[in-house]
């Protein structure tokens, strides 16, 4: 049995939350709504993040109806992809040429982990079952060379912070591996903050089943599929399995089309998803995710892939993120 979850934005729904959900309730086992988007704004009355006031009533009605109709309620939350917070240059992630990214936070920010943890607690105060966490890693291996990352990392390889460069890391395998380890530790430390907040919210609400945090991981041929993900983005499936137990595999985020069945790239993709077996065996749950699914053909393609790799949950959105072109450029542009 294949399950399909669509992550909605209030703008996607032309009717009221009540009308929409009562019409489709019998078809839906779970349904998602954005809680905090990549622009950094919350759609619920947050005390922590800035708020899109025009959507707060819709949000409240939506999650309460899910609960009343026993639909598995899912809320999306962008983490390091936070355009509002990233207006502050102090938090922007940057490459070694000091090119700052105005849409993404450096993951090496304990104060931002605390900010994220507050938002998890706020969203977790609603009667929902799961949060999908987007933007949970580094942009690429070429990030982050902000002042804080330089200062913390340089002593690990006996260098001066100001002399660190990506070229230096590439020239030295040992340095480069330390860099990967350093960044990966930051990503998982951040996730642990959010997971602790989810547990706290369970205690406060007395929720029957623990609030799940599903962590988006990007899987793209440009970044070496699953194998390249740790070094490029910093996340490690085994560690996510220990921390949150739920992973959301964003397929081909930087490519408009998936490889067709029977092609050698398709086999490569299937092979790169073998880690899911181990992940599931250890009690984790993996879902396949893709931005901008608008046709039945695209959906069937995802379902067929899911079947081939043993994943029975498909998650999608109708749209690409609003800052998609900037994200794509920063992830796969030329360096």
Two tokens, residue 232: 């490029």
Identify which of residues 44 and 112 has a Cβ nearer to Zn ion in the complex. Answer: 112
> Which stretch in 17-25, 142-150, 208-216, 289-297 sits in contact with Zn ion by CB under 5 A?
142-150
Nearer to Zn ion, 20 or 145 (CB): 145
- CB neighbours of 72 closer than 8 A, spacing ≥ 6? 29, 30, 31, 66, 129, 130
Alpha carbons 139 and 168: distance in angstroms, whole number: 19
Q: How many residues bind Zn ion (CB under 5 A)?
A: 5
CB 132 to Zn ion: min, Å: 25
Q: Which of residues 83-112 bind Zn ion (CB under 5 A)?
A: 106, 108
Alpha helices, DSSP H, located in the chain? 17-24, 56-68, 110-124, 147-153, 166-171, 173-205, 225-233, 237-243, 264-272, 275-281, 296-309, 324-332
Nearer to Zn ion, 178 or 207 (CB): 178
Q: Which is nearer to Zn ion, 117 or 144 (CB)?
A: 144
Of 77, 123, 146, 215, which lies in the binding site for Zn ion, with binding defined by CB under 5 A? 146
Per-residue binding letters, 34-53, with Zn ion (x by CB under 5 A): --------------------
Min dist CB 307 to Zn ion, Å, is 40
Q: For Zn ion, which is the closer residue by CB, 112 or 225? A: 112
Candidate residues 149, 194, 229, 240; the one interacting with Zn ion per rule CB under 5 A = 149
Nearer residue to Zn ion within complex by CB, 62 or 80: 80
Cα separation, 310 vs 68, whole angstroms:
31
Part of the chain binding Zn ion (CB under 5 A), chosen from 22-30, 77-85, 143-151, 158-166:
143-151
Nearest distance, CB of residue 80 and Zn ion, angstroms: 11
Using the minimum distance from each CB to Zn ion, give the nearer residue, 106 or 120.
Answer: 106
CB of 153 to Zn ion, least distance (A): 9
Shortest spacing between CB 147 and Zn ion, in angstroms: 8
Helices (runs of H) and strands (runs of E) counted in the chain = 12, 10
**One residue of 6, 144, 191, 314 binding Zn ion per CB under 5 A:** 144
Residue 25's CB: how many other CB atoms inside 10 A? 16
Smallest separation, CB 92 to Zn ion (Å): 9
Stretch that binds Zn ion, among 47-55, 66-74, 137-145, 185-193 (CB under 5 A): 137-145
CA distance 186 to 109: 8
Q: Shortest gap between Cβ of 328 and Zn ion (angstroms)?
A: 21
**CB-count burial class (<10 Å; 0-12, 13-18, 19+) for 203:** exposed
Q: Which is nearer to Zn ion, 110 or 177 (CB)?
A: 110
> What does 109-157 look like in DSSP terms, one character per residue?
-HHHHHHHHHHHHHHHTSS-SEEEEE--S-SSTT---SHHHHHHHGGGG
Assigned token pair, 144: 């982050």
Q: How far is the CB of 157 from Zn ion (least distance, A)?
A: 16
The span from the CA of 7 to the CA of 11, in Å, is 12
71 cis-preceded (ω within 30 degrees of 0):
no
Residue 77 · residue 85 · CB < 8 Å: no
Q: Which of 261, 256, 244 is nearest to 307 (CA)?
A: 261
Q: How far is the CB of 94 from Zn ion (least distance, A)?
A: 7
The SS3 of residue 30 is strand
Is 5 or 149 the residue whose CB approaches Zn ion more closely?
Answer: 149
Which residues sit at the interface with Zn ion, rule CB under 5 A? Answer: 106, 108, 144, 146, 149
């Amino acid at each position: 049995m294949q399950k399909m979850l669509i992550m909605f934005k209030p703008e996607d729904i032309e009717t009221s939350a009540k009308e929409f959900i009562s019409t489709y309730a019998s078809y839906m086992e779970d349904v998602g709504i954005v809680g905090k988007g990549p622009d950094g704004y919350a759609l619920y009355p947050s005390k922590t993040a800035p708020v899109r006031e025009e959507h707060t009533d819709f949000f409240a009605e939506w999650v309460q109806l899910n609960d009343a109709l026993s639909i598995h309620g899912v809320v999306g939350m962008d983490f390091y992809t936070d355009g509002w917070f990233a207006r502050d240059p102090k938090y922007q992630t940057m490459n070694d040429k000091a090119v700052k990214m105005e849409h993404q936070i450096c993951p090496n920010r304990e104060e931002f982990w605390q900010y994220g943890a507050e938002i998890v607690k706020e969203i977790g105060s609603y009667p929902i079952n799961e949060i999908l966490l987007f933007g949970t890693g580094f942009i690429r291996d070429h990030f982050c060379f902000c002042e804080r990352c330089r200062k913390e990392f340089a002593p690990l390889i006996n260098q001066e912070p100001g002399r660190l460069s990506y070229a230096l890391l590439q020239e030295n395998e040992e340095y480069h591996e330390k860099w990967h380890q350093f960044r990966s530790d930051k990503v998982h430390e951040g996730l642990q903050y959010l997971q602790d907040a989810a547990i706290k919210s369970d205690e406060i609400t007395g929720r029957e089943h623990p609030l799940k945090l599903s962590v988006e991981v990007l899987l793209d041929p440009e970044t070496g599929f699953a194998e390249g993900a740790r070094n490029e983005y910093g996340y490690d499936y085994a560690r996510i399995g220990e921390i949150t137990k739920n992973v959301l595999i964003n397929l081909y985020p930087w490519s408009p089309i998936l490889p067709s069945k029977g092609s050698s790239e398709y086999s490569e993709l299937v092979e790169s998803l073998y880690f899911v077996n181990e992940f599931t065996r250890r009690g984790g749950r993996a879902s396949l995710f893709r931005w901008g699914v608008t046709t039945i053909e695209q959906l069937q393609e995802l379902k067929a892939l899911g079947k081939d790799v043993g994943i029975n949950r498909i998650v999608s959105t109708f749209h690409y993120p609003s800052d998609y072109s900037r994200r794509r450029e920063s992830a796969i542009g030329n360096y």
